[in-house]
Amino acid sequence: MTSQQPVLALDVGGTKLAAGVVTRDGTVQSFCRTETAVAEGPAAVVKRLLDLGEQAAAEAGLPLDRPPVSNGRPFAAIGVGCGGPLDPETGIILGPPGLPGWDSVPLGQLVAERFGLPTYVENDATAAALGEYRWGGWDVQNLVYLTVSTGFGGGIVADGKLFRGAARQGGELGHVVIDWQGRRCGCGARGCAEAYVSGTSIARRATEAAAAADSTLSGLVVTAKDVADHARAGDPVARAVWDETTAMLGRMVAVLINVSEPDLVVLGGGVTRSGAQLLEPVREAALRQAMPPAARACDVVLSRHGDAVGVLGAAAIAYERREES
Ligand SMILES: [Zn+2]
């Protein structure tokens, strides 16, 4: 692999697909997004993901021929981030709660066959943690990344290395239980962080609350953004759901600070577009509840990468695993 070759990065989210070309210094040369439309099923979604990859390559001036590639390989490798559980060795997706019907989908093989390039698949939140560590501009050795998106998950970098663990999923941070008698989670357990903190849960809890009370949300098809907007405008029902969400996330962050003593907890994902409305109460609750030495050593911030965080994570994985192989 030459150091000049960029990588192609693909990101499979529960709501959006993204693709981009990323250079070794973390510059995003092209960035394309489209709806996941998960109801169409894996075959249709994977086809659109591959087409999006071709579009991102073309927009970066590096069009991908169908294999065999005639004029040499334009990319060092392809990195793919996807919701877990999945097998990073085989690139097979193993029925993630956020991607119904994706049981044993050989995503890595499908990408590699289409483009004829080495392809590395990783849990999207684990990948994003490495992307934040490498290119987030933070200059720290210990970092926890949490994505508050359609789902909720995260990854850990400890002493400068991505934590993968025995099952190589990098930890299932979304399914850490923060209320053992709490709401049922998509994984079947009760009271997981994801059952409160994900965009899906924020919208669902607000819909339930607005059906039972007088609210400016009543009768709407509610999104997490609506809950943030209506809470800011003073609606008490939206406010209660938002406050519960930030309290739960704050508690979750405190748990993670106690477990891994990071220099930094970075929050990313679509719900973090609400900015200080999310960050400030979460930061205050987390640093108040964590053990004092760990809390004093840590701060809680928002990712600077916005919507590109998933693509940067997938790219970081491609560089790291290509070098290991
Ligand atoms: Zn769960």
Domain annotation covers residue 29:
yes
Give percent of the chain above pLDDT 70. 97
Residue 101 alpha carbon to ligand 1 centre in Å: 18
- What pLDDT was estimated at residue 320? 95
Per-residue pLDDT band for 3 (boundaries 50, 70, 90) equals low
Residue 315 alpha carbon to ligand 1 centre in Å: 27
Residue 208 alpha carbon to ligand 1 centre in Å: 20
Strand order in the sheet with 119-123: 28-35, 16-22, 7-12, 78-82, 119-123
Contact 116, 106 (CB under 8 A): no
Per-residue burial over 206-229, b = 16 or more CB atoms within 10 Å of its CB, e = otherwise: bbebbeeeebbbeeeebbbebbbb
Residue of higher predicted confidence among 73 and 181? 181
Contact 8, 73 (CB under 8 A): no
- What pLDDT was estimated at residue 196? 97
Q: What is the pLDDT of residues 189-240, one digit of tens each?
A: 999 999 999 999 999 999 999 999 999 999 999 999 999 999 999 999 999 9
Residue 215 alpha carbon to ligand 1 centre in Å: 29
Residue 105 alpha carbon to ligand 1 centre in Å: 21
Q: Do 262 and 284 lie in a common domain?
A: yes
Q: Do 155 and 220 lie in a common domain?
A: yes
Per-residue pLDDT band for 98 (boundaries 50, 70, 90) equals confident
Residue 141 alpha carbon to ligand 1 centre in Å: 29
Residue 145 alpha carbon to ligand 1 centre in Å: 18
Residue 189 alpha carbon to ligand 1 centre in Å: 5
Gap between the Cα atoms of 276 and 269, Å rounded: 14
Residue 185 alpha carbon to ligand 1 centre in Å: 5
Q: What is the DSSP letter of 63?
A: P
Q: Do 147 and 262 lie in a common domain?
A: yes
Rounded mean pLDDT of the chain? 94
Residue 206 alpha carbon to ligand 1 centre in Å: 19
Q: Do 39 and 164 lie in a common domain?
A: no
Domain annotation covers residue 207:
yes
Residue 150 alpha carbon to ligand 1 centre in Å: 14
Q: Do 24 and 107 lie in a common domain?
A: yes
Domain annotation covers residue 235:
yes
Q: Do 52 and 142 lie in a common domain?
A: no
Residue 24 alpha carbon to ligand 1 centre in Å: 35
Gap between the Cα atoms of 196 and 54, Å rounded: 36
Q: Do 288 and 166 lie in a common domain?
A: yes
Domain annotation covers residue 2:
no
Q: What is the pLDDT of residues 259-277, one digit of tens each?
A: 999 999 999 999 999 999 9
- What pLDDT was estimated at residue 66? 52
Q: Do 101 and 187 lie in a common domain?
A: no
Domain annotation covers residue 1:
no
Contact 102, 42 (CB under 8 A): yes
Residue 83 alpha carbon to ligand 1 centre in Å: 13
Residue 97 alpha carbon to ligand 1 centre in Å: 9
Asked if the model's pLDDT at residue 179 lies above 80, the reply is yes
Q: Which long-range contacts (CB under 8 A, 24 or more apart) does 275-279 make?
A: 275/302, 277/228, 277/231, 277/232, 277/242, 278/148, 278/228, 278/246, 278/249
Residue 195 alpha carbon to ligand 1 centre in Å: 7
Q: What is the pLDDT of residues 107-164, one digit of tens each?
A: 999 999 999 999 999 999 999 999 999 999 999 999 999 999 999 999 999 999 999 9
The CATH number of residue 275's host domain is 3.30.420.40
Residue 286 alpha carbon to ligand 1 centre in Å: 21
Residue 59 alpha carbon to ligand 1 centre in Å: 38
Q: Do 152 and 230 lie in a common domain?
A: yes
Residue 184 alpha carbon to ligand 1 centre in Å: 8
Q: Name the residue among 291, 301, 244 with its Cα closest to residue 268.
A: 301
- What pLDDT was estimated at residue 68? 45
Average pLDDT in the 312-318 region? 97
Residue 172 alpha carbon to ligand 1 centre in Å: 9
Q: What is the pTM of this model?
A: 0.93
Domain annotation covers residue 77:
yes
Contact 320, 25 (CB under 8 A): no
Residue 148 alpha carbon to ligand 1 centre in Å: 14
Q: Do 119 and 203 lie in a common domain?
A: no
Q: What is the pLDDT of residues 27-74, one digit of tens each?
A: 999 999 999 999 999 999 999 999 999 999 999 999 886 544 555 678
Q: Do 230 and 318 lie in a common domain?
A: no
Domain annotation covers residue 38:
yes
Q: Do 163 and 275 lie in a common domain?
A: yes
Domain annotation covers residue 276:
yes
Could you tell me the residue range of the domain that residue 265 belongs to?
138-303
Residue 186 alpha carbon to ligand 1 centre in Å: 6
Domain count, the chain: 2
- What pLDDT was estimated at residue 167? 87
Task: Tell me the torsion sign for CA atoms 300, 159, 26, 49.
Answer: negative
